[in-house]
A and B are shown apart, each in its own frame.
Chain A
Amino acid sequence: MNAAVNKVSSHYDEVADSYDYRYDANFGKFYYNDISRHVMERFPKDGRLLDLGCGTGLFVRHYVNEGGVAVGIDISRGMIGKASDKCASSDFTIGTAEVLPFCDGSFDAVSSLLSFSYLNQPEKALAETFRVLRPGSPIAVCTLGRNLFTRGLPALYHISEAMNLKKACFGAFGERYYSVEEMEQLFYGAGFIDVRVKRCSFAHYNLARPIYVLAKKIEPFVERNIPYLAYNICASGRKPYDNEIELL
């Protein structure tokens, strides 16, 4: 592993114990359920899912509860340990999306929630995803988009790290935040069709309660009318059937 990957992996090993307090309780749980719903929109409910950067298994659990079976992959052993405890019926492996350890056409759906921004080679990860999907099957990625708020994050991360402000931010991992156009280009470039990209999420789980309640109330309006202010981006597409490739 290179230094940047090691840094992400070590960070998540450290936060594995506390991760679910962030996303599986209080406002964080609402937030995670919302993005899970966006990702689920185009997925079959009874297929075999691969979840890239599965973390503690929150989306694997969501998918299994909907009726499917799931395999999770993550670079952090600590996170995978938590996921295995949470979802005993599912399979997990340590690995990276950029070189997937799965045979061609093994999955009916591939998801990635809040992990795509860490990829150094997103093109490679999408090419690998294309390979392991069965023809006709969907992919959906939810990641931080580039907008007014996230544009300043890398600088903030570097400053807080330089000042040793551990609580302030997660750290500088060289994360990449994408625009709608960039996500479309990446998905089409990998060979996916029926590509749809939308911005979602406005109410952040870290907001104080009254502000969160207000932000949550106006979230659908923002997603519909001022999507640039929504901080996540949800991109989906599907692998074409063989006869569709001939037509392209």
Chain B
Amino acid sequence: MTDPAAPSRRRRRRRWVVAVIVLTLAYLARGWILPEWGGWLDVSEPPRPADYAYALGGGAESRPFVAAGLYKRGLVSGVLLPEVQPGPDAADGLAPGETELVRRLLRARGVPEDRVQILPGAVTSTFDEAHSLGRFLDAHPDATVAVVTDDYHTRRARRVFRRVLGPRAAQVHFVATPVDGVTAADWWKSARGFRTYLAETFKAGYYEVRY
């Protein structure tokens, strides 16, 4: 007598075998998959002349340095900064407010004070920063802007800026700031890279749905 449950058991077994094969292949191909994944997040372009560099908030230790470099090379004639809402440490006086720190940093790195503009309106997200730039472009409709942000953040930033600016997004391009010791080719090998790239992937997914 044949067992009526045998076909479904066989089907289940086949599925498990397929799953194990897929996982094994994914593991063996991790040296290709993970760098591709990291590289997917970076849509930056080589810097080209623009009227302004816009150094996004949240990266005072790196982004303003690159913006200053663009200014000193004559690629931009001014730097725009968002008005970053202070976090708890800044509120307690343990750290300077980010916008003020970056303004002083730009001056120290050779960008004259009259070449730095702080865009009004407190920001807490990339979305807010895109709106700040949108208001600036309302008043300066012909301005071109190099948005400076971390390499892994450029895809999400580009999506948000395109969404907020609409056709004016053509006036904007994205310049990458590298992260010390972490690249798309090795992000999973360090705790910092793992946290940065995975969190960015989740955020990119969230922004995809939310905006």
Q: Does B bind A?
A: no
| Residues in B lying within 8 Å of A, measured CB to CB | none
